[in-house]
Amino acid sequence: MRKIRHFLLVILLMSGTGLWAQAIGDYGSAATNNAWNTASNWVVCVTNGTWDGATTATVAPLVTTNIWIRSGHTITLPASGNCLCNNLYVDGTLVSASVVTSPRYVRLYGNSMIVNGAFGSSTDGLGVQLYGGATQALTISGTATIYFSRIQPQTAAAVTFDANAQFDYGGSSGTGSTGLYANNLDYIITINQGKTVTLADNSYFAVHGSSGSSAGTANLTLNINGTLNGSGANSTINLNSSSAKTVLVNIGATGELKSISPIRLSYLNAATATINIASGGKITSFASGSLQLPKATITNNGTISVAGLNADSIGATIVSSTGSILVNKTSSNLAFAGASTLNGALTFTSGTASLGANNLTIGSTGSISGGSSTSYIITNGVGKLTQTVGAATAVLFPIGASSTSYDPVVLTPTTASDIAVNVGTALPAAAPTSYTYNTKVWNITPVTPSSTSVTLIPSAAVSTSVSDVIGQYISGNYSNTIAAKSGNAYTATFDTFSPFVTGTSDLGTAVSEIKTWDVSFDGKTIQNPNHQSLRLFDAVGRLVETSNGNIDMSSASKGVYVIKIQSSTLKIAL
């Protein structure tokens, strides 16, 4: 009875702590410094839970054999021969007889690998091949950091990392290849909370068999609740797969996908690619890294941080989300590769983001902060920045026409509205006579138009001649409004919206001359006795009339007019 009670207590303790114990038929290492595939280097368990009475093995481990490398023992994978097992438990040390550029594999058919001792090293060729078939769901756990040359699946499989691991394989030349990869087989990889999987120098993560850039031909699900860390130089994370395949990346509340090298989902004929970032989850690019994710549909409720030196591209679509995007780049640019909606914070510390042909909408709960002359949104195409602007609330649109031109807008409407804005350099038409415009044009489109204070700030502004203006291009002509100017900022109020320009006019309010080229004005008629070619403009630069004769002004509206005669100008006032 006492033996039964003791056995039950052991079972309860093992189940309560998640520990495993050897079972009848399991192999245990017989001694240290022994080779894997020699039968006499193993003993066979004959009593559950103990090695007492174990007998010497008569055959090398088989695909059905659970292997235990016992504490204090070292087992070596030899340079040749198949090394087989079902489940693997390492309390001692397992190494290979090969260097990291020439992997030697344990062929693992089971669902459990526990390492509390030592598995490989950063220079060792020790790796694992998965042979368990499509139903294989391997959990890798233990207290030690596990050093893989690589994991190479031979059939579709699922792998869960419940231990810290590092991948060191960089190809036979050591210059770059896949350490953790799908081998073009359907694959599910999960990294548990609190665990980190690290890619060392030149070791890639990929769907493809060996490439850090080419597309694979398999479905991939990557669940990150811990950290996938491409911290090594040239440690590319390549998520590309081909059309008709699915790539799904789920980053949980405690998860982070980070790299100093490219993170790629950019293949032209891409798989259906989705990235879901939960609140608290992160994607981080830093140092020499970049996010190359133009083919991904991204739901971001966590944080996307771009701080790498190289160009970034994110989101075939970024759907409505509560997450934040942090831009802190000392070089290159973040490109929004598709229409994006952000209901969280877009924060600029340094560097720019560009829209191209894609619209960026900041939702009613979203915000933009940190916009400045060194950190802003480039509207280098038809894409527009849309923000929700409250009634009587001044809102900055931190936009620029290029990476060297910051041309922001401040809008204060009387009625709350979503307002879309962009800025470019191609004016809709040449400036009319007596006007000089800055080479920037702003398109401002409110959903609900109302009387709005508009401040336009070109990166460079022409010197004031007589008066400063904001011009609107309406029905093929410019309509100019006198603007208040402070520095490069032009401010006026409008209740209709069309392309806007800024500039200056040399028009005054008095007659500058009464006669030139024998053309004169007597208060009612412009006299043109020599039949000069005349062009008459109003004060906002609209062409009113052309004539080779006299022009009757008796029914014209009061104001200032400009007569252009050859290379001269005559100003008149009614």
pLDDT of residue 560: 81
Which two three-digit tokens encode residue 115?
A: 């390492």
3-state SS assignment for residue 508: coil
Could you tell me the pTM of the whole model? Answer: 0.85
Round to whole Å and give the CA distance between 444 and 54: 83
pLDDT of residue 401: 98
pLDDT of residue 515: 59
Which two three-digit tokens encode residue 13?
A: 């303790």
pLDDT exceeds cutoff 70 at 385: yes
Domain boundaries, the chain: 424-505, 515-573
pLDDT exceeds cutoff 80 at 320: no
Average pLDDT over residues 383-410: 98
pLDDT of residue 434: 83
Q: Please check whether residue 361 is in contact with residue 383, taking contact to mean a CB–CB distance below 8 angstroms.
A: no
Q: How confident is the model at residue 161 (pLDDT cuts 50, 70, 90)?
A: very high
Tell me the per-residue pLDDT of 444-494, one tens digit each, with 9 for 90 and over. 999 999 999 999 999 999 998 778 999 999 989 898 888 999 999 999 999
Question: In the 8-state DSSP scheme, what is residue 16?
Answer: H
End-to-end CA distance of the chain: 121
Handedness of CA 285, 258, 248, 150 (dihedral sign): positive
- Cβ-defined contacts of 528-534 (< 8 Å, 24+): 532/565, 532/566, 533/565, 533/566, 534/563, 534/564, 534/565
pLDDT of residue 194: 98
pLDDT exceeds cutoff 80 at 199: yes
pLDDT of residue 564: 86
pLDDT of residue 494: 95
pLDDT exceeds cutoff 60 at 26: yes
In sequence order, the 6+-apart residues with CB closer than 8 A to the CB of 354 are: 333, 334, 335, 336, 377, 378, 379, 380
Supply the mean pLDDT for the chain. 91
Tell me the per-residue pLDDT of 92-151, one tens digit each, with 9 for 90 and over. 999 999 999 999 999 999 999 999 999 999 999 999 999 999 889 999 999 999 999 999
Q: What percent of the chain has pLDDT over 70?
A: 94
Q: Nearest 5°: phi and psi at 208?
A: -65, 160
Question: In the 8-state DSSP scheme, what is residue 414?
Answer: S
Of the candidates 77, 55, 192, the one whose C-alpha atom is nearest the C-alpha of residue 124 is 77
pLDDT-wise least confident of 215-229, 239-253, 307-321? 307-321
pLDDT of residue 519: 84
Q: What percent of the chain has pLDDT over 90?
A: 76
pLDDT of residue 567: 67
Q: Beta 452-456 vs 489-494: how paired, if at all?
A: antiparallel
Average pLDDT over residues 186-193: 97
Question: In the 8-state DSSP scheme, what is residue 12?
Answer: H
Round to whole Å and give the CA distance between 547 and 59: 111
DSSP 132-187: S-TT-EEEEE-SSPEEES-EEESS-EEEEEES-EEE----TTSS-EEEEE-TTS-E
Count other Cβ atoms within 10 Å, centred on residue 50.
12
Q: Please check whether residue 179 is in contact with residue 171, taking contact to mean a CB–CB distance below 8 angstroms.
A: no
Tell me the per-residue pLDDT of 262-284, one tens digit each, with 9 for 90 and over. 999 988 777 789 999 999 999 99
Burial 252-268 (b: 16+ CB within 10 A, else e): bebbbbbbbbbbbbbbe
pLDDT-wise least confident of 2-16, 17-31, 84-98, 107-121? 2-16
pLDDT exceeds cutoff 90 at 350: yes
Round to whole Å and give the CA distance between 173 and 101: 7
Average pLDDT over residues 54-78: 97
pLDDT of residue 19: 52
DSSP 318-339: EES-S-EEEEEEEEEEEEE-S-
Round to whole Å and give the CA distance between 218 and 157: 12
